[in-house]
Amino acid sequence: MADDPLAQESSAQDPLALFDSWFAEARQSEPNDPEAMALATADAAGRPSVRMVLLKGHDERGFTFFTNLDSRKGGDLAANPHASLLFHWKSLRRQVRIDGPIRAVSEAEADAYFASRSRDSRLGAWASDQSRPLPDRATFEARVEAARERFGAGDIPRPPRWSGYRVIPERIEFWSDRAARLHERRLFERTGSGWREGLLYP
């Protein structure tokens, strides 16, 4: 990119503010799901697993996503409460990597987000045994219809096994594409209540 905003932002010391800036630009330029992020976890034996999830909130406390707690990712995080996130905004030729421990969101936060989902999405949360073997698609669709009948036109509460996690950043790396693979990698590492900033070789 000819005018690389990374170079212009070289004086920024707050990686969360820098993320806000990049995320706002991604929302303007990405054709689909700028909030999509790869979530990497590992089980108790250290076996890794990665999948795409959606960022549902971020602030000074961390980066939040929601899931079925009985899913593979939920099992991994129960055994090994650390995660890595990767945002790849191809339209901007940028990446952001975030590493840190995880913490469960509050019951109130989980309830509020669940209530904001579409009715069909809430029914799906009740119908799905996420990550478990499914004999055929018809079985899942039948379970969705059973949930629809169960709740009728009434409220659909949050399932007990459904909640969210917050990744508390300890490392945040901002990657910017440069010509001839001479990329720029800017690393922030948490130090107590502040951040230490440096560069990495590409």
Catalytic positions, written as ranges = 181
CA distance 45 to 101: 17
CA distance 79 to 57: 24
CA distances, 57 to each of 43, 54, 64, 184 (Å): 25, 9, 5, 27
Torsional sign, CA 172, 168, 82, 85: negative
- The residue type found at 66 is F
Q: What is the DSSP letter of 152?
A: T
